[in-house]
Amino acid sequence: MNNFIGKVVLITGAGNGIGRATALAFAQQGANVVVADISQADGEETVSIVKQAGGIARFIFCDVTKNEDVKAMVEATLYAYGKLDIAFNNAGIEIEQCKLADGDEAIYDKIMDVNVKGVWRCMKYQIPAMLKQASSSIVNTASIAGLGAAPKMSVYSASKHAVIGLTKSAAVEYGKKGLRVNAVCPGVINTKMYTRAIHIEPQKEQFIKNLHPVGRIGQPEEVAAAVLYLCSDLAGFTTGIALPIDGGSNAI
Ligand code: NAD
């Protein structure tokens, strides 16, 4: 399939997991992909995976907590490809493992800086470039933790609720300008983020599977498929939504 031929797609957190799978999926459908990540090694590895699959990609270093990095990432994308059609703001962290009253202010600030302000910074610099296209699309990575409670991850949960707030507001602000803005809300997905969680509490593996009515965790490719749908013409009348990709867990 070549549904994204000639489209320029910028993905943050593309060095691993969901971002990497989405970079590959867009490239396999003909897009020019910008792989942005704070890890140069992981980002370069994604680029090489995409190229081995016959796709087009380049790496741009970006720490989404640094305003100048985010600005430079968008500028470098425009310099390389002349435009920006699609952005997937996906970089995120999960570093919290305690109940709210045991929380630490530095960890709170770090999670909010990456997960919320990072998405805000990205959209702030992407939107003016994207409004130059007749149609464009942003997808932000929230979580099912953005739709409900996440015990021992209250700050993470708050950060993902905030991503949905940014998404909905931007969708309304720019709806008439041809820019659609949506969020994906993955359930537990088989990435390094999940591996880190299971490493800390291995006894939770079965419990986590059972959180999903389908009886398993998700694969990054299943989130990628939803992102491609949201960025495609098939979703032309869809904006401002927070789409669960969660094996039914939000239905419980
Ligand atoms: P991951 O840890 O496997 O990959 C995250 C990537 O983001 C890494 O390559 C990392 O280097 C990069 N990154 C981290 N901080 C960054 C920063 N400041 N600037 C730029 N890049 C940075 O995680 P994943 O599971 O692929 O998660 C991707 C997104 O999906 C995150 O926003 C996460 O919160 C969300 N999510 C994950 C799950 C899950 O179960 N894996 C569930 C719901 C939502």
Q: Indicate if the pLDDT at residue 1 is higher than 90.
A: no
CA of 53 to the centre of ligand 1 (A): 23
Start-to-end C-alpha separation, the chain: 35
CB of 12 closer than 6 A to ligand 1? yes
- Walk me through the domains of the chain, giving residue ranges and CATH numbers: 8-187+219-244 (3.40.50.720)
User: To test the ligand 1 pocket, which listed residue (18, 188, 200) has its Cβ within 8 A of the most ligand atoms?
Assistant: 18
CB of 99 closer than 6 A to ligand 1? no
Q: Which of 79, 108, 125, 156 is catalytic?
A: 156
Atom of ligand 1 nearest to the CA of 188: 40
Dump the DSSP string for 181-208. Answer: EEEEEE-SBSSHHHHHHHHH-GGGHHHH
CB of 65 closer than 6 A to ligand 1? yes
Nearest to 137 by CA among 169, 91, 183: 183
CA pair distance 48, 54, nearest whole angstrom: 10
Atom of ligand 1 nearest to the CA of 218: 40
CB of 22 closer than 6 A to ligand 1? no
Give ipTM to 2 decimals.
0.99
Burial class (CB in 10 A: 0-12, 13-18, 19+), 170: buried
156 included as an active-site residue: yes
Q: Indicate if the pLDDT at residue 2 is higher than 80.
A: no
Atom of ligand 1 nearest to the CA of 92: 32
User: What is the model's pTM?
Assistant: 0.98
Return the residue whose CA atom lies nearest to atom 12 of ligand 1: 13
Nearest to 64 by CA among 41, 87, 90, 42: 90
4-60 pLDDT tens trace: 999 999 999 999 999 999 999 999 999 999 999 999 999 999 999 999 999 999 999
Atom of ligand 1 nearest to the CA of 145: 43
CA pair distance 185, 183, nearest whole angstrom: 7
CA pair distance 6, 26, nearest whole angstrom: 11
163-217 pLDDT tens trace: 999 999 999 999 999 999 999 999 999 999 999 999 988 898 999 999 999 999 9
